[in-house]
């Protein structure tokens, strides 16, 4: 059901004005206006023929390490060349307004940090960190444009330090995220299709524990039914409008 943006912004601002603990979950949509395709529309140009759900797995990497390495190298170069957008900056601004604030991001692009967010958890890792496949030894100074993954001193292939499908998220990050979701007064969900677990369960956990849920997306998603407010549109437009109402 279409909802009037101005009315929804007003309701969202009222919830925030009455709240102490704010938690935000972001997904690929928040970086779309920076020029990064979302995960599910990432397959453009050269990569159109590949399924990201197959590339972002250990099986995909072991089947064809060079292919998966080159896919991440392509995306790492794209990310190196972009800047945070107004949505990232609005969330960094929001953080300054609340003493209890946590940003949980599924994104691996580092743009929230570049925009000034501090209280944050990178749930799915970072495209700028690397580790070895067998033992998880950290690897540094990995150059761009390698055709194959380099080798660790222990002989194992180096891979991006990213959480692939079927892999466990960092236990401490996960515990902290659930704790924050349970304690939130307002839980804001931005630019995620809410299809990938466990992150997709956080809004319902927050709602079940009494939080008001504000969703910012271009279209309705798997969690829209539980959202108390739906801010429809690009987050680079709706989030700055919301933050402006709080000033």
Quick check: 131 binds ligand BJW (CB under 6 A)? no
The nearer residue to ligand BJW, 100 or 237, going by C-beta atoms, is 237
DSSP per-residue codes, 15-45: HHHT-SEEEEEE-THHHHTTTPPPGGG---G
How do 120-122 and 100-105 pair as beta strands? Answer: parallel
Contacting range for ligand BJW; rule: CB under 6 A; set: 8-16, 150-158, 195-203, 206-214 = 195-203
Burial class (CB within 10 angstroms; exposed 0-12, middle 13-18, buried 19+) of 44:
exposed
For the CB of residue 162, give the shortest distance to ligand BJW in the complex, in Å. 5
Quick check: 167 binds ligand BJW (CB under 6 A)? yes
Contacting range for ligand BJW; rule: CB under 6 A; set: 131-139, 148-156, 189-197, 205-213 = 189-197
Quick check: 225 binds ligand BJW (CB under 6 A)? no
* Catalytic-residue membership of 124: yes
The nearer residue to ligand BJW, 117 or 235, going by C-beta atoms, is 235
Measured between alpha carbons, how far is residue 186 from residues 77, 136, 205, 247 in Å?
35, 36, 12, 18
Q: Which helix (H) or strand (E) holds 216?
A: strand 212-217
Quick check: 212 binds ligand BJW (CB under 6 A)? no
Encoded one letter per residue, x for contact with ligand BJW by CB under 6 A and - for no contact, window 13-32 reads --------------xxx--x
Beta bridge partners of 130: 139, 160
* From candidates 60, 84, 110, 234, binder to ligand BJW by CB under 6 A: 234
Quick check: 195 binds ligand BJW (CB under 6 A)? yes
* From candidates 168, 172, 225, 247, binder to ligand BJW by CB under 6 A: 168
The nearer residue to ligand BJW, 163 or 243, going by C-beta atoms, is 163
Quick check: 165 binds ligand BJW (CB under 6 A)? yes
Residue-wise over 128-156: b if at least 16 C-beta within 10 A, else e? Answer: ebbbbbeeeeebeebeeeeeebeebeeeb
Quick check: 124 binds ligand BJW (CB under 6 A)? yes
For the CB of residue 186, give the shortest distance to ligand BJW in the complex, in Å. 18
Quick check: 108 binds ligand BJW (CB under 6 A)? yes
Measured between alpha carbons, how far is residue 77 from residues 123, 209, 220, 222 in Å?
21, 41, 31, 31
Burial class (CB within 10 angstroms; exposed 0-12, middle 13-18, buried 19+) of 46:
exposed
Alpha carbon 117 to chain centroid distance?
13
Give the binding site for ligand BJW (CB under 6 A): 27-29, 32-33, 38-40, 56, 106, 108, 124, 162-168, 191-193, 195-198, 216-219, 221, 234-235
Catalytic residues: 124
């Amino acid at each position: 059901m279409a909802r009037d943006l101005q009315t929804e912004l007003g309701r969202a601002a009222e919830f925030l004005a009455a709240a102490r603990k704010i938690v935000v979950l972001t997904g690929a949509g928040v970086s779309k206006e920076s020029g990064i395709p979302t995960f599910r529309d990432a397959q453009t140009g050269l990569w159109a023929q590949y399924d990201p759900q197959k590339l972002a797995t250990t099986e995909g990497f072991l089947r064809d390490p060079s292919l998966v390495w080159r896919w991440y190298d392509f995306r790492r170069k794209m990310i190196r060349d972009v800047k945070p957008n107004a949505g990232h900056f609005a969330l960094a601004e929001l953080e300054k307004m609340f003493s209890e604030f946590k940003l949980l991001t599924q994104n691996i692009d580092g743009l929230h940090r570049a925009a000034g967010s501090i209280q944050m958890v990178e749930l799915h890792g970072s495209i700028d960190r690397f580790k070895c496949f067998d033992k998880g030894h950290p690897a540094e100074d990995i150059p761009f444009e390698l055709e194959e993954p380099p080798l660790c001193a222990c002989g194992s292939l180096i891979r991006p330090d990213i959480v692939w499908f079927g892999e466990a998220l960092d236990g401490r990050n996960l515990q902290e995220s659930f704790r924050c979701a349970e304690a939130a007064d307002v839980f804001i969900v931005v630019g995620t299709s809410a299809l990938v677990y466990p992150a997709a369960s956080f809004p319902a956990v927050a709602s079940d524990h009494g939080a008001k849920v504000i969703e910012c997306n271009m279209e309705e998603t798997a969690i829209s039914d539980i959202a108390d407010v739906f801010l429809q549109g690009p987050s680079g437009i709706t989030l700055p409008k919301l933050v402006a109402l709080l000033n």
